[in-house]
A and B are shown apart, each in its own frame.
Chain A
Amino acid sequence: MSIRWQDYPNEGLYDELINERKNPRKPAKRLANYLAKMGSEELQQRRQLADSNVQDMGVSFTVYTDEGNIDRAWPFDIIPRIIPAKEWEQVANGLKQRLRALNMFINDLYHGQEIIKDGVVPAYLIEKSKNFRPECIGVKPAFSVWAHICGSDLVRDANGQMYVLEDNLRVPSGVSYMLENRAITKRVLPEVFSRENVLPVDDYPSQLFDTLAALSPRRVKQPEIVVLTPGIFNSAYFEHAFLAQQMGAELVEGSDLMVDTDDCVYMRTIKGRERVDVIYRRIDDMFIDPEAFNKDSMLGVPGLIRAWKKGNVALANAPGAGVADDKVIYAYVPKIIEYYLGESALIPNVETYLCNDAEQRDYVLKNLDKLVVKPANESGGYGMLVGPHSTKKDQDTFATLIKKNPRNYIAQPTLSLSTAPTLVDGGVLEPRHMDLRPFILQSRGLYCTTGGLTRVAMVKGSLVVNSSQGGGSKDTWIVDTEGK
């Protein structure tokens, strides 16, 4: 059975591939025609091929459940999402601009706090931030950069406008899936792929390597770079191992490292101890060093913060960088960009109401059924209220929570996220909502991935894209329609 785009139910939605007149958008034309010809039986066969590839490639993520941790196959939808290269160039510039400003902001917070003295950001935000680390005051990381790896979530609303929804500056994950999605697509839709001018994504590991190598405190030819993982039970373990392998770096756990009396970090090898220069840590601040933070942490390395403060080892991301991915700080990012760079933000923020402000809080409490309420410091989509999909009881619970701790909550209008055709049961293509997480790197230079990880809410009408909550993913094609 062939597919007719005229039957595609995208009414009232912004679809990334099919426009409101139900014609394929220009960069998606070839793909859409090909899919239409292919038909639903063939598409279902391709999906099976993708599923078995995911299993063979061992692409998985770990889900925490009551019965223990389950290693689950990565949910992948074979229909790619397409963004024109010209649009992407602008988005990438906007993301780089954002990270540059955020790093200046973090550095300022741990030094002169000029931005607070100038009254641009209120002092209480920092004083009450869960992710501000007084231990980091005065530390001078290389290039004054604290967040070396940033994953920002982008969404497009019903009008086609792209917004930044949040910035992840602590331990953002997902980039390995972006790379694996591309590898799977090449195997599953080879004939489509070879005819399109899709920009490659696979230079990320070398860019990450260069970003990290530039941080080495020792001026040596081959700095020792390690990826520090909490271990096999972490939900992103697959990614930690993947990135270490792709970069040719050691994958270490806390117990493989030690800090000696010279305040340098060493790893335990078959030859004895070897000095470590750069640690790409995928452990949260609070668990990274039992000596400095959480004393009960079994994951960290005692003395690591000491070594870092002395400048004997580089940590990426630097401890304390998370202060800027607080969702309340998010509301100030456009002002932060203006303050440090004298430029206006290239990508707009989603309108955000701060519950700490009496007037805005009143508005939020009166409109809980329309808004999305988020706690300031959670990730993975936990602890959220999606107004239009919530019960009166949920709304009352959140009203109480907000009144009790207004600083900890923000609210945003419920966006109608953009969609793209997604293969559902019966070989039918239906629109599903999605977001996009590109990754931005900064040390000596700046880099932004070509596209990013597209996450899809596989359930009809749902806006929750997190893999821990039933989300799937798609390959993201940045297509150059001018070049060819």
Chain B
Amino acid sequence: MLSRVAERLYWAARYLERAENTARLVSVYDNLLYDLPAGMVEISWFNLISLNSSAEEFTKRYKVQNERNVVKFLLQDEKHLGSLSASVRYVRENFRTSRDVIPPSAWEQINELNIYVSKNAKTALARNGRHDFLSEVIERSQSLNGLLTGTLMRDEAWEFIMLGRFIERADMTTRILDAGAAVLENSEAFAHSNPAQVIWGNVLRSQGAYMSYRRAIKSIVRGSDVAEFLLYDTHIPRSVTFCSDQINQAATKLAQDSGKKQPPKMKLPRFEIEKEEDLGADFRNYLNDLQLSIGETHNHICNTWFARD
């Protein structure tokens, strides 16, 4: 397989995962609006911008840090390279330049998704159209992933897609956890209600992990357990540990097939979480370290397979 094609598949998978997870991320906050009693907590939408490290870019183009602008920036803004619509467009561009290895029906599906997003992203700016848009994007991304899973030959193309998918997913899971921790940080001054359960419940739901959590943990939704679950559980397909296992498997297989001696390997530093209070500033720093470590693995992948001589 051409290095260039490998790189494009890797990025196509990353962007597809990013599009889906951006939808999931926004849906966490969207749901919180309904679940938390009015006036109890000031949900700062701007958290979603700062935890994606894009505050600088945002302030360049938007004056007001309100819900509408944040949602626009994350979902619709074509100039923002991390936005959902830009991500979908990049999946299409990367597929377009690697059409010789992807199934024709995958090409059709990404065209349909791209058309859907460019026509409908604006409906998500208002609250009443947002839920439909987000779940449609998530469904269509899953359907495209399902198509690839069900039809793609398990050769290098597949492994590069796995690498891209799980690098991005691991990164996004840390950011979604960060989104939860950030809301909680701003909501200390509650008198007679515990918003933590609502917040972590939504974090779980956004990851499609609520039922699994209930079955695995068999207790109420507690922040410390949710964080442990989404970081270290080896069975839940969106946990960081699950992602890193998948990355290491794909990297080892690719290294064997392509004669590379030192496959990229993702190492996860561990953070001791025992009680709710452990999810404060130190926890958020730890999530940041995880993101850096994911970034290193990404660099290692690039140097191993995508370099031109």
Contact = CB atoms under 8 A, between A and B. Distances in A.
Interface of A: 55-58, 227, 232, 241-242, 244-245, 248-253, 255-256, 267-272
A15 to B, nearest CB: 35
A271 B2 contact: no
A244 B101 CA distance: 9
Contact of A252 (B2, B104, B111, B115): B2
A272 B259 contact: yes
A150 to B, nearest CB: 24
9 contacts: A57-B107, A58-B96, A232-B96, A241-B97, A250-B100, A252-B2, A256-B4, A268-B309, A270-B254
Contact of B308 (A55, A245, A252, A268): A268
A249 B108 CA distance: 20
B308 A241 contact: no
Interface in B37-79: none
Nearest to A257: B2
Contacts of A271: 1, 257-259
6 interchain residue pairs of minimum CB distance: A244-B100, A241-B99, A58-B111, A251-B100, A271-B258, A245-B100
B139 interface: no
B305 A270 contact: yes
Q: SS class of chain A's interface: helix, strand, loop or mixed?
A: mixed
A58 B107 contact: yes
Contacts of A272: 258-259
A251 B99 CA distance: 8
Interface string B197-210: 00000000000000
Nearest to A183: B104
B147 to A, nearest CB: 14
B30 interface: no
Nearest to B309: A268
A352 to B, nearest CB: 40
Interface string B257-268: 111000000000
Interface in B247-289: 254, 257-259
A480 B96 CA distance: 37
Interface in B90-106: 92-93, 96-101, 104
A255 B112 contact: no
Contacts of B254: 270
Contacts of B115: 55-56
A232 B97 CA distance: 7
Contacts of A227: 100
A57 B108 contact: yes
Interface in B148-162: 156
A178 B140 CA distance: 30
Given A252-B2, A255-B308, A256-B3, 9 more contacts: A55-B111, A241-B99, A244-B100, A249-B100, A250-B2, A251-B97, A268-B2, A268-B308, A271-B1
Interface of B: 1-6, 92-93, 96-101, 104, 107-108, 111-112, 115, 156, 254, 257-259, 305, 308-309
A460 B156 CA distance: 52
B100 A270 contact: no
Contacts of B97: 232, 241, 251
A249 B101 CA distance: 9
Contacts of B305: 270
A202 to B, nearest CB: 13
Contacts of B92: 58
A451 B161 CA distance: 39
A251 B98 CA distance: 8
Given A245-B104, A249-B100, A251-B99, A269 B111 contact: no
A61 to B, nearest CB: 13
A443 B6 CA distance: 32
Contacts of B2: 250, 252, 256, 267-270
A56 B114 CA distance: 9
A245 B5 CA distance: 13
Contact of A56 (B1, B96, B108, B156): B108
Nearest to A258: B309
Contacts of A250: 2, 5, 100
Contacts of A253: 4
A97 to B, nearest CB: 34
Contact of A270 (B96, B98, B108, B258): B258
Nearest to B6: A270
A245 B106 CA distance: 13
Given A252-B2, A269-B2, A56 B99 contact: no
Contacts of B111: 55-58
Residue with the greatest number of chain A CB neighbours at <10 A, chosen from B2, B96, B156 = B2
Given A56-B112, A241-B97, A245-B100, A269 B1 contact: yes
B4 A241 contact: no
B301 to A, nearest CB: 11
Nearest to A229: B97
B93 to A, nearest CB: 8
Contacts of A248: 100
A56 B107 CA distance: 8
Nearest to B108: A56
Nearest to A53: B108
Residue with the greatest number of chain B CB neighbours at <10 A, chosen from A227, A255, A270 = A270
A222 to B, nearest CB: 15
B111 to A, nearest CB: 4
B229 to A, nearest CB: 35
A227 B98 CA distance: 12
B3 A270 contact: yes
Contacts of B6: 270
Nearest to A251: B100
Given A57-B108, A57-B111, A58-B108, A268 B3 contact: yes
B117 to A, nearest CB: 13
A453 B265 CA distance: 51
Nearest to B115: A55
A270 B99 contact: no
Contacts of B258: 270-272
